[in-house]
Amino acid sequence: MKRILAVLTMMLTALTISNSNAKDNEMTDKKVLVAYFSATGTTAGVAERLAKAISGDLFEIKPEQPYTAADLNWRDKQSRSSVEMDDMSSRPAIASKVEDMSRYNVVFVGFPIWWYREPSIIDTFMESYDFTDKTIIPFATSGGSGMGKSGEIMQSLSPKAKVLSGKRFPADVSEDELKAWAKEWL
């Protein structure tokens, strides 16, 4: 009888330990926001899949003045995007604010690579909140370029945050791939 009891106790202990491990591994113990800017929908798709994969809240960084096709013409030196990206102090206005940024521990920030870095509206975003003690993880889509200095620039605009260098993804990156990448910070 004593032996049976001992075995049962051991089994119960093992079960409790494995349960608490499962809890530690849950992807939701930190409050996560996925904020993104997308001019033509590619980054939006990745951001939506990421938010779904990690049960994060989703916020679109919408420009007060939407970008037209002419604005996005990178061949035209006078186009709005060319002019903005040529000026490191350019801060295009954002239409709305995240309701309560203080509740988030981790903020993924998505954008298309423009001229080898983050678009100026992301600079506006970085300067719009108090990111003290928050981890900011940039992610991007592009025609092929990597993240460039995006993370470094974003860190300089929000020195109290911990901004990582982040990762560029192909447009068709899967939910599973995004989850595997993001879980390190959750």
Ligand X SMILES: Cc1cc2nc3c(=O)[nH]c(=O)nc-3n(C[C@H](O)[C@H](O)[C@H](O)COP(=O)(O)O)c2cc1C
Cβ distance to ligand X smaller for residue 111 or 134: 111
The reply to whether 114 sits near ligand X by the rule CB under 6 A is yes
d(CA 101, CA 126): 12
Cβ distance to ligand X smaller for residue 63 or 134: 63
Q: Binding pattern to ligand X, positions 19-48, x when CB under 6 A?
A: -------------------xxxxxxx----
CA torsion, ordered 72, 76, 82, 86, to nearest 10 deg: 170
DSSP string, 109-125: EEEE-BTTB--HHHHHH
Written as one letter, the residue type at 13 is: T
| DSSP secondary structure letter of residue 117 | B
Cβ distance to ligand X smaller for residue 43 or 158: 43
CA torsion, ordered 117, 123, 125, 128, to nearest 10 deg: 160
Residue 66 C-beta: closest distance to ligand X, Å = 12
Site for ligand X in 70-89 (CB under 6 A): 72, 74, 81
Site for ligand X in 54-73 (CB under 6 A): 72
| DSSP secondary structure letter of residue 103 | G
The reply to whether 124 sits near ligand X by the rule CB under 6 A is no
Residues that bind ligand X (CB under 6 A): 38-44, 72, 74, 81, 112-116, 141-145
